[in-house]
Structure 1
């Protein structure tokens, strides 16, 4: 199947079909092959910020379950978020409302559906109650709804501090003066409108039927269900088991399978209430998003259209090498703090094309057959890298340099070693160049290792002792991290004694071989690290005092005043300048 072939039905293992409207990108999932198309369709209304990152995969799973029941669906990004364009003026809530209205019209036109179901999560559930009548919704699923906007913003502020502390950001590195979380800033006009929202004050019934998915211990969720019932709605209720495990961290998010089952069953009953759908329209192909200095083509590629990605090209002449942007962990292709999308567009404005995409079982790409559930640091992701390179080769986008951060940096490096089509590689804050197959990825991620220098600095910080006595620090995990790093120092000091007789030593020797191979192929390698990043310390341990200086193809750059995620804007700017320079030289 070609990258953007319009399909009359969804098949398991396929990514959703990209569509463009209202200066944003939507992902349309038709009814599944063999199902009886319903006259109802599902419009997803996303939460905002960190919560949206955590629930991106949930939306895909629910869309696929809805498709099996004959329900078409559409999910989309609000203007100024994700892969949508940035409005010319600062967006207000009306901007997002207009995009939702156009999304509903697009969904009805593509699916032929007469009835509309809204599924909202967090702030998106609040939008569903606000827009139900305007959009002509017949029913809604309200998941963890925000009942009071004022309380939500206070809660978001506390949540933001916890995320920043987890990232190791110092107070001066944090975004101040507005509502922000995980490097994302809620526009001031929208924040002001959200502050005034309170769905308990609803006086008119927004939809006839609703399923309220209630968080444990949140009385306001139950109160909203009761209020909607008092207005005359037919209300069903479902416990939100696993909510905290879903929204605590996009890298470690666990999907609430019991809740997905419950929502799917409710949708199935609703789908069977009326006759089949009306006439549908063919999908626009290709879907293009015209931006300021760039053109983006959201697409599907690889066998059976299983991977979702975005090809970003300059509006003017193209120059230099094309950049293949690998995502980090389970972050959607837009990246942490939307950094990958903004990097791609910055490159395009400077003449550089790029491809960003979700690897299998990440974000909007379904899992690959026979692949493990945990795909981070798995060699199975190399098949996704090859598929991306195949696409770029077929489109005539070469030469290619690979770039990524953390686990994306690891994949970029491994892909460069494995595939000679990669002409350069830019790993950022790579933790290791050879993953220990006996090490649990989940356990390693939960350990959140830091450099010995960082531990030393925190040891003399009074705040550390306050957090320790409050029980906010896992002392055993911290001591284990320190012990592992001391062992690696011993290996570096005496490679002859420890190198071949320890697992860490053997992996280090294998990494040496990888760098020798890249040097023999004359592949430029630019290693970028935040100052004090644990990956930089591991680099020194694995390669000793001499480091990689004997390889003329390897350059090491550091970015000052940056965390592992490159959250501060100045850190992102420094990274983009280095990446752009590398792409221009490789062309």
Structure 2
């Protein structure tokens, strides 16, 4: 059961309780009025970026007295899988289900819909059926075609291979940030157009964002009272996964509009039954609350066996526990189908967990190791068997340091690790932005004819290029300094920490996209000789053709193979009381093969 704070002045995301709407996962927060508010998020990477702010908005509205529900669409977050004719039809049905939940389970007599981006478009279309009293549209797309045009452009800019070229798209589909729209969904989006509506979706509408004048005029013509305004924080909210500020001004206006004039409920707000177990083929999931306000999802095999290995998955960046492109949720369920349990959870300051005490960013926070320890303490109460930890990028940094700090962890799978340690006072934002400019920046793109044409035409300023090259040079210099520092700094070097891990029987499987910037760190600290595999316990796996976030399904399969091997090795070692066997490499010619440095495979 989640922690419940009954003081309205102290409402946080922890005041919510998890609920299930069929196979949809959601969070419900009670309120004192009879006006229920349903938050309709957008799709894919935009919603992942906005996830924590969206939860804080729900808590804020509930704190103003309105019972509030937010949920994950099918195929996103912690909900069940997409199984309908298309995701538009499913999403409209989910919004209708949420409205019925607020009326039947929470006793709401009035309904407010709050939609973000594509979620705003869908909320407006769902409200046309009637029964919605107020409607908040945050930067809606007037048509599904407009949404598709913008997402297609973003896909070309965001999803790139190490050589700077865009990730290939499947015919008829659209992939962006690891999330994919299938052909049926694209067709359904193409038919979505708010400009053709024949009735106002609600009597009162708050419409915030750019290019909304025509839609506002349309709704006014149909008899609605429409208030318009700007949404200055829109771009960072939906596009910056690491450093976006909370949209205080806009969300204050949303909360005021949603709660304005709401009358107190004559009866106490009913609390629906908390979420039970969400199940699918081979897996069963339940929400876990533990430690100091930590929230996670435990995914178990359908049939539990004694000694089942468990994988703790820590967040990459500030992504919520479902992961980039929802990879973590998908991986957890695939692991469960092979007999491996997992706990995906949000450290403090991420996703649905509590804020950090120091109010600092949790990104590359060394003290997040205490949250991993709390997860291990919790697993000791609900699970048996060995525990392995998995992390990508900044999550790999946390996973490595947790492995060093807690002997209950038997092994770690570290994906695209950039650094083993950080110097105190490191400017994280500068480090991250400079690192990935180097990996996919101007120097890497300069070989492409189109980049030079843009420079010559003035579209890219030479000062921009010079600045990027200077930053790339600084990043390279920083790696050289890091290599030297392991020889002169007082304290235990990375090599010695790894050796200590091996002596206690723990091992590390490191996975890299070919040409990932983190490979320089690996070579600087552990060398590039035949000894690397021996020092880690597993060979270093290089995934040819993979991007930094492992966005492609083929790369998901490769990672699944590695995690399965490490987890089963840990279970075998646990039963035998010996060190785990080495990871078996799949020949590179096979579809799911691991491209390994031959010199680094273990004898």
User: What TM-score comes out, normalization by structure 2 length?
Assistant: 0.87
- Report deviation, 1:265: 2.2
Instruction: Give the corresponding residue for 2:288.
Output: 299
Instruction: Give the corresponding residue for 2:237.
Output: 246
Instruction: Give the corresponding residue for 1:162.
Output: 157
User: What TM-score comes out, normalization by structure 1 length?
Assistant: 0.89
SS at match of 1:380: helix
Instruction: Give the corresponding residue for 2:508.
Output: 525
Question: Contact 2:164–2:440 (CA<8 Å) still a contact in 1?
Answer: no
Instruction: Give the corresponding residue for 2:337.
Output: 349
1:391 alignment partner, one of 369, 378, 394: 378
CA displacement, residues 376-396 of structure 1 (integer Å, 9 cap, x when unaligned) = 111232222122112211112
CA displacement, residues 453-483 of structure 1 (integer Å, 9 cap, x when unaligned) = 9987645333443454532865423332234
- Report deviation, 1:420: 1.7
Question: Contact 1:329–1:376 (CA<8 Å) still a contact in 2?
Answer: yes
Q: How does 1:420-431 map to 2 (within 5 A)?
A: 420-431=407-418
Question: Contact 2:317–2:363 (CA<8 Å) still a contact in 1?
Answer: yes
Question: Contact 1:18–1:299 (CA<8 Å) still a contact in 2?
Answer: no
- Report deviation, 1:153: 1.3
- Report deviation, 1:129: 1.2
**Compared CA separation, residues 135 and 250, structure 1 to 2 (3 A):** farther
**Compared CA separation, residues 234 and 399, structure 1 to 2 (3 A):** same
Matched, 1:380 2:371: no
CA displacement, residues 29-86 of structure 1 (integer Å, 9 cap, x when unaligned) = 223xxxxx01111101111122111221221111111121111111111112222212
1:563 alignment partner, one of 525, 547, 569: 547
Instruction: Give the corresponding residue for 1:290.
Output: 279
Instruction: Give the corresponding residue for 1:411.
Output: 398
Structure 1 stretches of 5 or more lacking a match? Answer: 32-36
Matched, 1:265 2:217: no
- Report deviation, 1:491: 6.0
Instruction: Give the corresponding residue for 2:499.
Output: 516
Distance 1:371 1:108 in 2: 37
SS at match of 1:134: coil
2:119 alignment partner, one of 124, 128, 131: 124
CA displacement, residues 496-518 of structure 1 (integer Å, 9 cap, x when unaligned) = xx6455xxx669x5323321331
Instruction: Give the corresponding residue for 1:91.
Output: 86
SS at match of 2:303: coil
Distance 1:506 1:376 in 2: 26
Distance 2:121 2:185 in 1: 13
Matched, 1:39 2:34: yes
Instruction: Give the corresponding residue for 1:538.
Output: 521
**Compared CA separation, residues 282 and 68, structure 1 to 2 (3 A):** closer
**Compared CA separation, residues 84 and 158, structure 1 to 2 (3 A):** same
Q: How does 1:14-29 map to 2 (within 5 A)?
A: 14-15=13-14, 16-29=16-29
Matched, 1:582 2:547: no
Whose RCO is larger (CA < 8 A, sep 6+)?
Answer: 1
Matched, 1:108 2:106: no
- Report deviation, 1:136: 1.8
1:76 alignment partner, one of 68, 71, 83: 71
Query: RMSD across aligned C-alpha pairs, in angstroms?
Result: 2.6
Question: Contact 1:8–1:30 (CA<8 Å) still a contact in 2?
Answer: no
Distance 2:163 2:39 in 1: 34
Instruction: Give the corresponding residue for 2:146.
Output: 151
Instruction: Give the corresponding residue for 1:34.
Output: none
Higher alpha-carbon deviation: 577-586 or 554-563: 554-563
Q: How does 1:112-261 map to 2 (within 5 A)?
A: 112-134=107-129, 136-165=131-160, 170-171=165-166, 173-215=168-210, 218=211, 221-261=212-252
Tell me the number of residue pairs that the alignment of Structure 1 and Structure 2 aligns: 563
- Report deviation, 1:247: 2.1
SS at match of 2:417: coil
- Report deviation, 1:14: 4.8
- Report deviation, 1:280: 4.0
- Report deviation, 1:92: 4.6
Distance 2:121 2:447 in 1: 45
1:369 alignment partner, one of 348, 354, 357: 357
Question: Contact 1:164–1:174 (CA<8 Å) still a contact in 2?
Answer: no
Question: Contact 1:529–1:558 (CA<8 Å) still a contact in 2?
Answer: yes
CA displacement, residues 395-416 of structure 1 (integer Å, 9 cap, x when unaligned) = 1243211101001111111111
Q: How does 1:417-566 map to 2 (within 5 A)?
A: 417-449=404-436, 458-469=445-456, 470-471=459-460, 474-486=465-477, 488-489=479-480, 492=483, 495=484, 499-500=486-487, 510-546=493-529, 548-549=532-533, 551=535, 553-566=537-550
- Report deviation, 1:363: 2.2
Distance 2:521 2:442 in 1: 14
Question: Contact 1:4–1:286 (CA<8 Å) still a contact in 2?
Answer: no
Distance 1:452 1:516 in 2: 30
Distance 1:299 1:18 in 2: 10
SS at match of 1:449: helix
**Compared CA separation, residues 540 and 466, structure 1 to 2 (3 A):** farther
Instruction: Give the corresponding residue for 1:324.
Output: 312
Distance 1:268 1:115 in 2: 11
Structure 2 stretches of 5 or more lacking a match? Answer: 572-603
